[in-house]
Structure 1
Amino acid sequence: MNQQLMDSSPEALTPGNKSAVPPAMEDQTEGTASLKMSIFNLSNSIMGSGILGLSFALANTGMILFLFLFILVSGLTSYSIYVLLSCAEMTGCLNFEEMGGKVYGKKGKYVIFGTTFVQNLGAMLSYLFIIKNELPCVIKVLIGKQDEFLAWYVDGRLLVVLVTFVIIFPLCLMKHLGILGYTSGFSLSCMVFFLIVIIYEKFHIPCPMEKTATVSNATIEKMCTPKYFVLNFKSVYALPTIAFAYVCHQAVLPVYRDLKDRSIKKMEIVSNASILSMCFMYLLTAYFGYLTFYGEVHSSLLHKYPDDDILIIIVRLSVMMAVTLTVPVLFLT
């Protein structure tokens, strides 16, 4: 009977074939991560550096169009994860490569391996690039030096290597993804702090930040009035930021595999809770960031705030810590 299940034909794996018996899961290893830790890990894989560009995307689509597009992407992400979990149940695989091999053969296995490798590599490199660019600037502000100041401890290349070996590499040696639930929880806490500061600064930064005698009241009113629907050539650049806000599919099966007493129903709770919490955080960040600077918002939100504000410096460190702790999660997926 077991052999019969394992040798299910492609027709038996078709979602519309209700009479088919899904094969038993090939990976029978018991998961170790609790529901809460799994939510932390999946939420951490969702949250990325794109959160810094959401206000810019909102400024170039308008408040109403942005909300519509963002809710649409949230719904599509939730449905795509449901389809992915259904495929895992039908094939009995908890690994992307094995699933691709079972459905598409050997070529499919290698294609899926290549695409997931490139996707994870690109994401990890983007996070390390943020550290390389941001950490030297923060150190220079803290020690009171100018941008032209050069020293080994403000060399971005050296700093990114140091962070990789001191923080990222030890976490990548963990055997189970569930252990990283604690670091993922701390990473999410850093981003919650980031959100709180964004909301706080909204009520303490005037619009516009710098008022001059040459700027009329009509111009100021135009600059500081929210736009509800915007369509221009920059709107095209905003769409990728919105579309890729929930890129977490590479982590779904690893998180599911490491879930204690795993079941499709429990994993749907994990995915829906993660998407809803990140949607709430994303929307608050986008709207409060936009309502602080309106059309003058920068493509990277934190670059618009004063560099010498100690609170903003702490926030920038928090964001760097958050993206640093995301890298091990991507590595183990």
Structure 2
Amino acid sequence: MEASCGSISAERGWLVSAQQPEEAAAEELSPLLSNELHRQVSPGVSFGFSVFNLMNAIMGSGILGLAYVMANTGILGFSFLLLMVALLGSYSVHLLLSMCIQTAMSSYLLIIKTELPAAISEFLTGDYSGSWYLDGQTLLIIICVGIVFPLALLPKIGFLGYTSSLSFFFMVFFALVIIIKKWAIPCPLTLNHTEEFFQISNATDDCKPKLFHFSKESAYAIPTMAFSFLCHTSILPIYCELQSPSKKRMQNVTNTAIALSFLIYFISALFGYLTFYDKVESELLQGYSKYLPHDVVVMTVKLCILFAVLLTVPLIHFPARKALMMMFFSNFPFSWILHSLITLVLNIIILLLAIYVPDIRNVFGVVGASTSTCLIFVFPGLFYLKLSREDFLSWKKLGAFVLLISGILLGNFSLALIVFDWINK
């Protein structure tokens, strides 16, 4: 295959550029590839904006489910699993970049559907039930038409750097509020109903964090974490528009984005868990709506996190559209009509899924155990084993093999437990 990374930027798929590896090309792009790349995307996207774009691809609705995961794995169990997934995710990106050089959007909208009406209602006084602006499906359609679709039409991923940086600061604000509000909600938990407080539990053990804890709900741990670190479909589009692109530079972008995402994930999950303990909701914001209704700071952070999640959707659109263009229209010249039609079809599909999926935990579980594990573990390992000419006993091939087997085992095991949990319910 003769397609370069530059041709990916011109409506190619995220792994078209893979060729047989050569040691001499292990660190930098060839002059021909570099010249073509600069000709198409010059002057390129800065390191900082590339980090923001990748973090935006990583962080999204997954941050709302990690406190629930910690409640079902314990603090130390969660820490080990999250670190393992982060490191394996970084290594799988390393394999993808090696191959390049050598040659679930629905969950985000589901958060909008469930949380935006609740956020709006908290700003209102009186009974406005039945109003169109409190209907999640109506709001979702308006947002998709007015915001998601126009942003998704942008031809280059670098243009989203500004929105991605804004999304990052919203996530940081979310983590800070989770920390602060830990001391605003007493334990044992109490509900304020008609100016009377009802204590949920008298057990002091409910207010003690568990270092290790495993239950049937722990089956959602690895899938949710894998979903939370899924960014691999955006790696090559971001790489192709990176300023002064090289393997080392893009790997640094990846490591920085994953490290910052890990930090924000861990802090928000830890303090979310230490706030609600075993009563933490599968979608963290729902707990604050229950125990701190009409709190101004909580209402503000809800709007911020909803906006941050919303800004992630166009970024995820980009590689999805590229893949469809590669599979069905790779021999056609670029056309704004075709570009717009594919973007519209993708918007309609994810909108329908977001409308009819009832529980965000189901998305985290099923998508995480199937698609996310394949994209993070299985496919990078499988492609490297297939395309590399290195000896099978080389460290990279052994690492790719371990990544492949780990992904298959973890994905199938988690999916089996999740299905078993559904059957029992």
- Per the TM superposition, whether the score is higher than 0.5 is yes
Separation in 2 of the partners of 1:214 and 1:195? Answer: 26
**Does 2:166 correspond to 1:180?**
no
Report the secondary structure of 2:123's partner residue. helix
Q: Deviations over 1:27-67 (max 9, x none)?
A: 92323211111000000000021111111101101111111
Tell me how far apart the structure 2 counterparts of residues 28 and 56 of structure 1 sit (CA, whole Å): 47
Change (3 A) 1:214 1:262: closer
Residue 86 of structure 2 corresponds to which residue in structure 1? 74
Q: Distance in 2 between matches of 1:188 and 1:224?
A: 31
Answer whether contact 2:70 2:270 (CA < 8 A) is retained.
yes
Q: 1:285 maps to which residue?
A: 268
- What amino acid does structure 1 have at the position aligned with 2:158? G
Q: 1:28 aligns with which of 18, 29, 36?
A: 36
Question: Is contact 2:86–2:229 with CA below 8 Å preserved after alignment?
Answer: yes
TM-score (norm 2): 0.63
Distance 1:155 1:213 in 2: 31
Residue from 254, 257, 262 that aligns with 2:245 = 262
2: distance between equivalents of 1:325 and 1:193?
16
Task: Choose from 307, 313, 322 the match for 1:321.
Answer: 307
Structure 1: segments with no counterpart, 5+ residues? 4-11, 93-122
Q: Give the distance between the partners of 1:288 and 1:183, measured in 2 at CA.
A: 27
Report the counterpart of residue 359 of structure 2 in structure 1.
none
- Cα displacement (A) at 1:312: 1.2
- 8 Å CA contact 1:140–1:154 kept in 2: the answer is yes
Q: How does 1:224-235 map to 2 (within 5 A)?
A: 224-235=207-218
Secondary structure of 1:203's match? Answer: coil
Deviates more, 1:172-181 or 1:226-235: 172-181
The structural deviation recorded for 1:280 is: 0.4
Distance in 2 (alpha carbons) for counterparts of 1:251 and 1:141: 36
Correspondence 1:1-333 to 2 at 5 A: 15=21, 18=23, 25=33, 28-30=36-38, 31=41, 32-90=44-102, 92=103, 123-146=104-127, 149-210=129-190, 216=202, 219-220=203-204, 222-305=205-288, 306-333=292-319
Root-mean-square deviation (CA, aligned residues, Å) is 2.5
Shift of 1:328: 1.1
Residues in 2 aligned to 1:214 and 1:41: alpha-carbon distance in whole angstroms: 42
Work out the number of aligned pairs and report it: 288
Q: Give, in angstroms, the shift of residue 145 of structure 1.
A: 4.1
Comparing 303-312 and 73-82, the one that deviates more: 303-312
Q: CA deviation at 1:158?
A: 2.0
Instruction: Check the 8 A contact 2:112/2:306 in 1, yes or no.
Output: yes
Matches of 1:292 and 1:20 in 2, distance apart?
51
Counterpart residue number, 1:107: none
Which secondary structure state, in structure 2, belongs to the residue aligned with residue 143 of structure 1? coil
Compute the displacement of 1:171 (Å).
1.6
Identify which of structures 1 and 2 has the higher relative contact order when contacts are C-alpha pairs closer than 8 Å and 6+ apart.
Answer: 1
1:264 shift after superposition: 0.9
Seq. identity, % = 42
Is the 1:13–1:20 Cα contact (8 Å) retained in structure 2? no
Question: Within 1, Cα distance between the matches of 2:198 and 2:120?
Answer: 32
How far off its partner does 1:213 sit? 7.9
Structure 1 SS opposite 2:294: coil
Alpha-carbon separation, structure 1, partners of 2:311 and 2:35: 27
- For the residue of structure 2 that corresponds to 1:153, the secondary structure is helix
Distance 1:170 1:19 in 2: 42
d(CA) in 2 for partners of 1:145, 1:33: 48
TM (normalized to structure 1)?
0.80
